Amino acid sequence: DTGVSQNPRHKITKRGQNVTFRCDPISEHNRLYWYRQTLGQGPEFLTYFQNEAQLEKSRLLSDRFSAERPKGSFSTLEIQRTEQGDSAMYLCASRDSYTGELFFGEGSRLTVL
Amino acid sequence: AQSVTQPDIHITVSEGASLELRCNYSYGATPYLFWYVQSPGQGLQLLLKYFSGDTLVQGIKGFEAEFKRSQSSFNLRKPSVHWSDAAEYFCAVELTDSWGKLQFGAGTQVVVTP
């Protein structure tokens, strides 16, 4: 399967701990996006990479959040000093430049106790 | 303010009946328009998209959507639903200069009864 892969799929952590999520996009896609989805809501844009360059960050991305895509391939999203309000599904997507379609991974669900 | 509205939070439909999900957007220009489906434990899957041209768009799984500029709407339809269509459906828009960033509606949960 060459779809978008995310891990871990589930993470339970205590408030104040740091967590990191990884996203492996479809290999030929140079655009990668992170979204956050809370219960009963649609996904909300967090940040976007073109190759290794982070081109846009949402106001939702506080200074406790950092995302990287060091070699223009996989990406990581780190949350420092987690808070209960960070509990959500974190979705990664990569974009086909020709069709414009976004391909989403299955998401990483974070629960902060 | 720019927004995407899905007025129906929850819809129950009988198997074999028709389905219509509503989506309205509020933007100055016509954005690109998408419908995604999300089944439990699954990622979002694209059903169909509208960029330009024919306002009636055909998608996968027997779904279609119609873009109506005068109503700022992009409603999703299926003539006859199957039990496997039970899922959450999201309408999304992309502004033409936003580097592919999507804004999603809050979603409509579809329940299919026998």
**pLDDT value of residue B96:** 67
Of A26-35, A61-70, A96-105, B82-91, minimum mean pLDDT range = A96-105
Rounded average pLDDT over A1-26: 94
Q: For residue A19, what pLDDT is reported? A: 98
Write out residues in chain B with pLDDT < 70, as ranges. 1, 96-97
CB A107 within 8 A of CB A22: no
How confident is the prediction for chain A on average, in pLDDT? 93
pLDDT at B90: 97
Q: How far is CA A27 from CA A3, A37, A74, B84, in A?
A: 9, 24, 9, 30
Encode pLDDT of B16-47 as tens digits.
Answer: 999 999 999 988 777 899 999 999 878 899 99
- Give CA–CA dist A51/A74, Å, rounded: 10
DSSP-derived secondary structure letter, B8: -
Q: Quick one: pLDDT band at residue A10, thresholds 50, 70, 90? A: very high
Q: What is the pLDDT of residue B27?
A: 81
Return the structure tokens found at A41.
């809501």
Q: B89, B91, B102, B109: best mutation site toward chain A, by most A Cβ within 10 Å?
A: B102
Nearest chain B residue to A9 by CA: give it: B41
Q: Within an 8 Å CB–CB cutoff, is residue B110 touching chain A?
A: no
Angstrom distances, CA of residue A79 to CA of A27, A40, B37, B61: 25, 22, 28, 37
Burial class (CB in 10 A: 0-12, 13-18, 19+), B108: buried
Task: Give the model's pLDDT for residue B28.
Answer: 73
What is the pLDDT at residue A84? 95
Residue-level pLDDT at A56: 86
Give Rg (Cα) of chain B. 14
